[in-house]
Amino acid sequence: MPKEETKNTLGIVIKRRPFKEYDRAVVLYTRDFGKLNLVVRGAERPASKLAGHIEPFSLIEAMIIKGRRDYLGAARSLDSRLKVGQDLNRLFYAGAALSVLDKLTKEGEPDAELFFLTESFLEYLDRRVADLSKEKGEILLAAFVWKVMAELGYAPRLETCLVCAKTLSEEDNRFDALKGGIVCPACADRLFQERHEVLPRISWEAIKILRFLSAHDFYQIARLALSDELVREVAALTERFKTITFEQ
Ligand SMILES: [Zn+2]
């Protein structure tokens, strides 16, 4: 019998679901091979040794065996991130981040930075002592999305106008989600007159926050004290940018 081809790596469990009668399918974001869809044989049987190691959010050491469908041959949980489930907001935002990672990445495209970024997001949530407020969750998730998008090559331009390249200042700036950046008021007026293009406003505070999010880690971002209104603005811009960039 030929020797089975195996590979070892670290992975974060994004999600799992029953697959066929006794198996499970698991989606892992791995350090070395990117996102992988794997079968976990026999995981639905009560005696399964693997089942307990493939809970969502867990960091696992994985041995992957190549087959007609690759499967998880062995797994050992290194960190089960139990505190992520401690309050509903933490659980919600951890799940939302993994779902963004799942949606924005393709299978088998290695990107170790994305692995470490997701690790640091989950680690922050797991080490946090106090309950997570909705506002903190929203801003952390927005930061995660901007960082993932920057890693995938969609960093927005936040210093100069997309059209005339003038350094931005504190005025009535607009956000162009499709082109990924800010448009100054003079250029926004011209776009409106020439092409009837209407771009949504972005406040000066929100521009400063977006710059901060790309340059700081989750611990530093969680220490920001922001008004609810600003959090809502940043969350809405983030959602718009993500949707327009990835759903066109
Ligand atoms: Zn301009």
What is the dihedral sign for C-alpha 47, 37, 64, 29?
negative
Nearest to 133 by CA among 208, 214, 218, 222: 222
pTM of the model: 0.94
Give pLDDT tens digits for 12-34.
999 999 888 899 999 999 999 99
Which tokens sit at 225?
């004290």
Report CA(143)–ligand 1 centroid distance (Å): 26
CA of residue 187 to ligand 1 center, whole Å: 4
pLDDT at 77 over 60: yes
What's the pLDDT band for 49 if we cut at 50, 70, 90? confident
* pLDDT tens digit sequence for 168-203: 999 999 999 999 999 999 999 999 999 998 999 999
Alpha carbon of 168 to ligand 1 centroid (Å): 8
**Residue 67: band (very low, low, confident or very high) from pLDDT cuts 50, 70, 90:** confident
User: What distance in angstroms lies between residue 204's CA and the mean position of ligand 1's atoms?
Assistant: 15
248 CA to centre of ligand 1 in angstroms: 25
Domain boundaries, the chain: 1-132, 153-248
Burial (CB count within 10 angstroms: exposed 0-12, middle 13-18, buried 19+), residue 164: exposed
d(CA 179, ligand 1 centre) in Å:
13
Q: Could you say which architecture CATH assigns to the domain 1-132?
A: Beta Barrel (2.40)
Backbone angles phi, psi at 20, to 5 degrees: 55, -160
* CA 158 vs CA 145, 189, 194: distances in Å: 16, 19, 24
CA of 155 relative to ligand 1 center, distance in Å: 19
